[in-house]
Structure formats: C-alpha cells, structure tokens
C-alpha cells in the first residue's frame, strides 16, 4: 500500500529536516509528470486536489486515477489531499473518495470569499479535525488570510480567495493566536499567511521582507516548534518560463513569485508542506504555446501534452531536490488509516508544543 496520510509524511519530513511540495492535479498528465519526477529521485508525494479540480475531473475519475498511480508506482508514498476545503461536506466527501488528508480553510467563510472571524475558523476547523481524525485522516487548517501585502488584495482564482481589501492584521498570521488555534483545533498542519497569494501575480518586484514576511514563519516556528507549517502560494513563477510563454505569443505581464531560496529558508524554520500549482500550469502552458507556434500544422493533442508533461516533470524534480524531499520515499512505510485513527484516539497524535524530538 502506498497511500499515506499527511500527518505521517510530515512527521517524517520534520524528523529528517525536509519539506514536501504539494502539487495540484487536475488530469492524468499532471499526475504522471509528478509521479515520474518522484520515481526518478525517490521522493514521497502530496497530490492535492482543489474543489475546482474535483468538479473539472469528477471525483470518480480522480479516485480511480490515483488508485492506478498506486499500482504504477508502488514504491512512492502518495498523500492525497483536499486543497482549500470550504466546509465540512467538501472535506468529508473527499475522505469518502480515498483522500488521506483535507484542508479545512476556515480563514474564509463557506463562499470562499468572505474573511471569517476567529471563532468561526476555530469552530469549523476543530469539528472537521475531530471527524477526520476519527477515521485516521489528517487535517490542515489555515490562520490568516492569503493575499498581497503590496495591494491588500486576496486573489480570485476560480472564485476562491478573499474579496475586498485586507489589512496587514488579516494578511499576517498572529503568532500568539497560532498557538491558541493549534491547541483548540488539534490540526496536523497549519497554513500561515505572510504575504504570499495564489496565482502568477504575487509581487510587482523581487520580494524582500516588506512584502514576503518570512519573519512570521520564523516567529511561529519559534513558538510552535513541533507543529508542521504550510506555505501556500509558493510558486516561484520562474523568469525563464515567463520568457518562454511570452516568446511564443503569450502576453504575461512581468511578475515575481516566491524565490526557491526563501522556501528553503522556510523549510529550515518548520515549513513542511509547500503548495505549488501556478508553476506547473505555466510550465505546461508555455510549452503548449511553443508547440503551437513552432508547428502550426500540428493537431495531435499528445504532441502538445508530451513536451508540457516533460517540462512539468523537470520542474517537480527540481523542487523535490531543492526541498530535500528526494531520497526519502524508500524509508517510509505507510501506516493505514485505521492505525492512525487508533493513535488519534489514544492521544498519541495530539499537537506537540515542545521542540520536536
Ligand atoms: O487554491 C489554489 C490552487 O491554485 C487551485 O486552483 O481552484 O483553480 O484549481 P483552482
Ligand atoms: P500557487 O498559485 O503559488 O502555485 O499556489 C498554489 C496553492 O497555494 C494551492 O493551495
Ligand atoms: Zn492555497
């Protein structure tokens, strides 16, 4: 069995000081690109699926595709994670379809637009955590709202993201509140806000500490050394991919993402899960453009998809190597959900507030 919970995987990552990229998937091409990269470097994987991806690909397709990946890559532990669950039913139906982990994003209300207050976030996250843990699945919570410190705007990708202008108090996770939140909800991983946002347009210049507040990660890790931190909006939007996209008819305005070195710095300070979607999209789309422009007579979709998959595979491999994920798959023996449930019941997986061993 190669399906693993987020909790077991991130406990291993913390013990061995590495981070795990969580790549979004919507189709077999993205899933195979990730798995090929993982197999090449012996990395465990997190495949994460947004609500948009679930309605695009359909739950049954995703469930059977992931079962096929387990057969194709038996040596690679696979965590299947719901990205940005907006309410109980999203998270529970994901578990029904074989997900081993869910994000209950209570930083926003169920409309995935309206910033929620702290009591709402604690209430819904604790409730989902109790239900998920009862069957052994893991839970990621979020405290603080994702959005730009430059503009105060959240992002609106596929309808998910805060609307209106946010204050720095909302955009930066409060370290004291983080301690309280983890104690009250018992989440397995905590997503924090420090100036990253979803999509390609994160920063209007190479980010410094004013607009990418890595000090918040460091401060939260100092107070919660045994808790796994999650960085959302962690695409780097590589310049070479922007250039390739634009060289082949694209019109992407110049933009900056999160430098990989800053993510590596985060991994040294407790970041264990690093969410990446945009870079994979851009790698694929830049190559679609290139094929379309270089060979205007081409109409076989596979001739577009194969170079796009290869580009995504190379990007994923780079992140597995730079985050230190590579080389760890073979050492992990996935623990079944039933045993994880027993450990939660026994209190053995309650959050650690002291330094990790
Ligand atoms: O949550 C952000 C991810 O990039 C997923 O995006 O909702 O367009 O699938 P999506
Ligand atoms: P990017 O848009 O930076 O890839 O972030 C993806 C993400 O955080 C998914 O939850
Ligand atoms: Zn996210």
Residues 43-87 pLDDT 10s: 999 999 999 999 999 999 999 999 999 999 999 999 999 999 999
Q: Ligand 1, residue 84: give the atom nearest the CA.
A: 1
Contact 110, 84 (CB under 8 A): no
Beta carbon of 221 within 6 Å of any ligand 1 atom: no
pLDDT digits (tens, 9 = 90+) for 185-214: 999 999 999 999 999 999 999 999 999 999
Which pLDDT belongs to residue 153? 86
pLDDT digits (tens, 9 = 90+) for 77-128: 999 999 999 999 999 999 999 999 999 999 999 999 999 999 999 999 999 9
As a whole number, the mean pLDDT across the chain is 96
- Any residues with Cβ below 6 Å from ligand 2, and which? 24, 83-84, 198-199, 232-235, 275-279
Contact 47, 66 (CB under 8 A): yes
CA atoms within 13 A on the CB side of 104: 30
Which pLDDT belongs to residue 357? 39
Find the 35 Cα to ligand 2 centroid distance in Å: 19
Q: Which of 233, 279, 280 to mutate to test the pocket of ligand 2 (most atoms within 8 A of CB)?
A: 233
- CA-based radius of gyration for the chain: 19
- Residues present in the chain in total: 357
pLDDT digits (tens, 9 = 90+) for 207-222: 999 999 999 999 999 9
Which pLDDT belongs to residue 159? 61
Beta carbon of 279 within 6 Å of any ligand 1 atom: no
């Amino acid at each position: 069995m190669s399906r693993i919970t987020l909790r077991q995987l991130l406990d291993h990552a913390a013990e061995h000081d590495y981070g795990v990229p969580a790549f979004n998937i919507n189709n077999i091409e993205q899933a195979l690109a990730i798995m090929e990269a993982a197999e090449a470097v012996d990395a465990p994987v997190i495949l994460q699926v947004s609500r948009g991806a679930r309605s695009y690909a359909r739950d049954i397709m995703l469930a059977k595709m992931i079962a096929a990946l387990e057969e194709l890559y038996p040596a690679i532990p696979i965590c299947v994670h719901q990205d940005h669950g907006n309410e109980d039913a999203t998270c529970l139906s994901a578990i029904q379809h074989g997900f081993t982990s869910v994000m209950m994003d209570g930083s926003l209300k169920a409309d995935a637009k309206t910033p929620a207050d702290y009591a709402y976030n604690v209430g819904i996250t604790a409730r989902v955590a109790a239900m998920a843990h009862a069957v052994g699945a893991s839970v990621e919570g979020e405290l603080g709202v994702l959005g730009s410190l430059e503009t105060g705007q959240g992002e609106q990708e596929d309808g998910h993201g805060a609307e209106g202008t946010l204050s720095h108090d909302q955009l930066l996770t409060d370290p004291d509140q983080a301690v309280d939140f983890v104690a009250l909800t018992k989440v397995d991983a905590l997503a924090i806000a420090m100036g990253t946002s979803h999509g390609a347009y994160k920063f209007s210049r190479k980010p410094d500490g004013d607009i990418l507040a890595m000090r918040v990660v460091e401060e939260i890790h100092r107070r919660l050394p045994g808790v796994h931190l999650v960085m959302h909006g962690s695409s780097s939007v590589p310049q070479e991919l922007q250039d390739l996209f634009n060289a082949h008819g694209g019109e992407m305005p110049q933009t900056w993402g999160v430098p990989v070195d800053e993510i590596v710095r985060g991994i040294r300070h407790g970041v264990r899960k690093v969410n990446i979607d945009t870079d994979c999209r851009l790698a694929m789309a830049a190559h679609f453009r290139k094929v379309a422009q270089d060979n205007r007579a081409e109409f076989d979709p596979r001739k577009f998809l194969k170079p796009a998959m290869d580009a995504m595979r190379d990007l994923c491999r780079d992140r597995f190597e730079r985050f230190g994920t590579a080389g760890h798959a073979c050492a992990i023996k996935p623990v079944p959900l039933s045993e994880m449930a027993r450990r939660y019941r026994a209190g053995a997986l309650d959050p650690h507030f002291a330094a990790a061993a």
